[in-house]
Amino acid sequence: MGEVLRADWFDLADEDREADWAWMHSEFLPAVRAAQGVAWVGHYDIIAHPPRPYIEGAPAKQETTDPAIPTGWQNVVLSSGLSTDTFLGPNNEVDALYTANADRLGAWRNHRVCVFVEEKVVNGPEERVMPYGAGPPPAMQIGSFNADTTDHNEMLARWYRAERFPRIAVSRGIIRGRKMLSVTGWAKHGVLWEGTELGPDDYSFEPRFIEADRNEEWSGPHVLEYVTHAPGSPHAGRRVWPKV
């Protein structure tokens, strides 16, 4: 088994953000990083999507409208564990820290959590910047979503192998890509694209994958036709802790 990733999405009130970040960065996240079984932790400031299509000329991106799914997106905390027991085992230290700090963590509005295991890892051209397991990347994009049917799950798996994974290997500024499956949380599928940076106008890695077109000539439907994303997914951001 590779790394197990816990993803926390949440919002913070504007007036509380500075104080909450200071507490997270000086106390809470270092404690999580020191917990048994945790390999690394990264906190990301997510870039808002502009009011235009996610991919020009492609089908519209579908997002869940289920009111039971929390809508947090402004912050993402990624925690890497050595196994699923790091986050789900009895009496694990990560659960204990979240419980002990429940009052402060009440400021995490619209909080959503998934725990993912890796299905596939593909190195990009910048892999040397941060070898696998070395820590949280300087920039990242995380997507979380479900396919519409069982047949679409298989189609999705074949599309990644036919089109997306080959492009990851040659895409500008990409360290690696991870395709993941969830153990807990609303989304069955997850992806994590790790990058060296996000430019001042970037809110997605997608333009880089379009640039990396290798004439794969995928014959199936566009992936956006049969997946439903979590609210606001995918989320791209820059690492704010540990400082880059």
Query: Which domains, from first to last, does the chain contain?
Result: 4-241 (3.30.70.100)
Three-state helix/strand/coil letters over 24-74: HHHHHHHHHHHCCCEEEEEEEEECCCCCCCCCCCCCCCEECCCCCCCCCCC
Q: Give this prediction's pTM.
A: 0.96
Q: Kindly report, residue by residue over 52-79, the tens digit of the pLDDT.
A: 888 888 899 999 999 999 999 999 999 9
Structure tokens at 3: 């790394």
Determine contact, residues 1/83, Cβ cutoff 8 Å: yes
How confident is residue 1, by pLDDT bands cut at 50, 70 and 90?
low
pLDDT digits (tens, 9 = 90+) for 117-174: 999 999 999 999 999 999 999 999 999 999 999 999 999 999 999 999 999 999 999 9
Return all residues near 48 (Cβ < 8 A) that are at least 6 apart: 203
Q: What is the pLDDT of residues 102-119, one digit of tens each?
A: 999 999 999 999 999 999
